[in-house]
Homo-oligomer: A and B are copies of this chain.
């Protein structure tokens, strides 16, 4: 794990913050960072801890979450390849993140990254755009959490994840679900029992087919209708 290997061949360069960097700027940034690997379930960073490094996910899947006083967990989002994690409000992380499956990321010390931002105002604009995108995703998610039936939540979850995978993987009718049922439940504000049941209801109605590690969408149109009602 020295400096990052081959940004030129990075699969997600075009969707990450790096898309606005020239070869020269990319070289400077690469020299600051390291590639890090996380095993499934490994912690990436924790809420309330000083944010001294930032991450750019290049492979795998991360879950971002906060814990309630009663111990229950709200997953506020999933981090896919190309996503940028770890920019804090003040000095500390606003949420925890860990790896759902084997995950690879570029790790960059925040101080160095911050100086790099000073020298590259266009990267700040890019970062800002991605943050606004995250805010939009958060609003979208609130629409689900606020007032939607379990079926609508699940349908919207599958559609949304499908669309996000589609941007970074060869398209497939099967939505990969590397996260467990508990993760899905904590994301959608459901109990694990309801999450499991709802998924099977959709399968019973031939809207999806549950496969190991994912779900194949059989009736996209009806699923979308369900998601948006």
- Give 27 A-B contacts (CB < 8 Å), ordered by A residue: A66-B143, A68-B148, A68-B229, A69-B228, A74-B142, A74-B147, A76-B139, A76-B142, A87-B132, A88-B132, A89-B132, A89-B136, A95-B139, A121-B121, A121-B124, A124-B125, A124-B128, A127-B128, A128-B128, A131-B131, A131-B132, A135-B138, A138-B138, A141-B142, A142-B145, A145-B146, A146-B186
CB-CB nearest in chain B for A148? B68
Bound CA span A229–B68, Å = 7
Q: Does A205 contact B (CB under 8 A)?
A: no
User: Would you call A94 an interface residue if the criterion is a C-beta within 8 Å of the partner chain's C-beta atoms?
Assistant: yes
A88's nearest neighbour on chain B, judged by CB, is: B132
Question: Does A70 have its Cβ within 8 Å of any Cβ on chain B?
Answer: yes
A131 vs B117: C-alpha distance in the bound complex, in angstroms? 17
List A78-95 residues whose CB lies under 8 Å from chain B. 87-89, 94-95
A22 at the interface (CB under 8 A from B): no
